[in-house]
Amino acid sequence: MKTAGSIIPNTLDWTGAWNGRVASGDSMPYEVRRGDMSTRLISEITAGRLPFINMPFREELETSLEAYTPWLQSFRHMLLLGIGGSALGARALQKAFYPQQDRPEHAGRSLWIADNVDADTLDAWFELLPPEKTIVVVISKSGGTIETLSQYFLARQWLRESLGDAWKKHVMVITDVAKGYLRQEADVLGLASLPVPDHLGGRYSVLSAVGMVPAAFLDMDWKALLRGALAVGAPLYAPGAGVKTLETHPAWKLAVWNRTLMERGYTQLIFFSYIPLWAQFGFWFTQLWAESLGKEGKGSMPLPAVGVTDQHSTQQMFLDGPRDKACLLLSSPSLSKGRQFGPDLPEEWAYLRGAHFGDLLQAEGLGTQMALYKAGTPIVEMCMGSTGEEAAGRLMALLGIATVLTGWLLDINPLDQPAVELGKRLANARLGASGYDEESADMEAFLARVPEQQEF
């Protein structure tokens, strides 16, 4: 039982993990690889190729961001231009730790995230945001992401029309430290900038300047996010780390579990959040998992779900559809209990008298967990002892490390995204960019197909 002042730990509950078509013994073909995996992990961290784990950039980031924070917070609005990993982490943190922006009568700072080619919304921001009170943050590791650059060109024009030469004081660039168009733009024009460290892909970058700049703007405890993440990864590269360390690490256990699930035909992984303000972490995880592992016909499809909302939509499929789904269920016993029901409820609902509104969420989460288990769904509960920034950092690090290890167990590279590039090349060809002769020919052939259409 929790006592006054005690700390509730973050835990993974494996009680329902080996359910349905999987048993713990099925994992042995992957467990025996832990020696090679441990050696590889330490080697990759030491070589700087997994910087999201040991954060060699942390000291420089903290120094730079502390200096920039008063300037960032002098603005009323931040317009963040970025897509994919340049936006999903920031949105998850905003929804989790700055929910007041979505509530009535909000009068504080506001973060607006432009993560799509949405002309109507971009026009609305340019029409309604006061340029003199707005900081535009442009995020692209490569410095050449066409969606983000297009937004930047229009935002630059919008600021310049209102502020003249002072527009440069309303822009921050987060990009590669040495190369790419945005790095050149920042250096030539003297724009404020922070680097995206080498070997840090977008989906692994939330705990760098990519996510910490908007976190600092919204006055989150961003240092606690970093501390939490480092605490999870540190044992893996500490002096003396080795096979035994990896064997007992929760990220390794998650990786082995998921690899075993895939071998047994579980092709979908539900991320079911029963922490309402953390619902967007499911969408952040979706990109992390899908873009890292969906290669060579391998991987499993992540499905973000929100408790209790999706109990009234997709849960029918989860419980009574194809038996191809496993589940990560996110919960916390420390959520606000909310208002208490009075004694005047109708007799039919008398059992709610004296209960709190938050009790309903806990009961619904337990009900879903048990229903999934009874349906034969392998399920691991990620129970967060608290829902502060440090806990969020721990969760993000755990899932990031587990994703890398799962990719290695699949014998694929979890750090690249080769298939995504084809769509980008074809889009550039359609827009008339040079150097895409093969893609242009393919595009012409695709558009020359005889249409088979039907009105409705």
Give the residue numbers annotated as catalytic, written as ranges. 291, 312, 424
Query: In the numeric block, which tokens belong to residue 148?
Result: 């983000």
Q: Measured on CA atoms in the order 58, 133, 124, 104, is the torsion positive or negative?
A: positive
Check residue 12 and report its DSSP letter.
Answer: E
CB 252 within 8 A of CB 246: yes
**Which of 99, 389, 395 has the alpha carbon at shortest distance from 221?**
389
Q: CA geometry: angle at 401 spanning 38 and 376, to 5°?
A: 105
Check residue 356 and report its DSSP letter.
Answer: B
Q: What is the CA radius of gyration of the chain?
A: 24
Tokens 């009234």 found at? 312
**φ and ψ of 47, to 5 deg:** -80, -5
Own/partner long-range contacts of 346-351 (Cβ < 8 Å, ≥24 apart) = none
Element holding 52 (H helix, E strand): helix 51-54
Q: CA geometry: angle at 380 spanning 306 and 414, to 5°?
A: 85
277: three-class secondary structure by DSSP: helix
313: three-class secondary structure by DSSP: coil
CA distance readout (Å), 147 to 70, 94, 117, 197, 427: 29, 22, 7, 21, 10
Question: Residue 241 class from Cβ within 10 Å (0-12 exposed, 13-18 middle, 19+ buried)?
Answer: middle
Tokens 């730079």 found at? 64
Beta bridge partners of 339: none
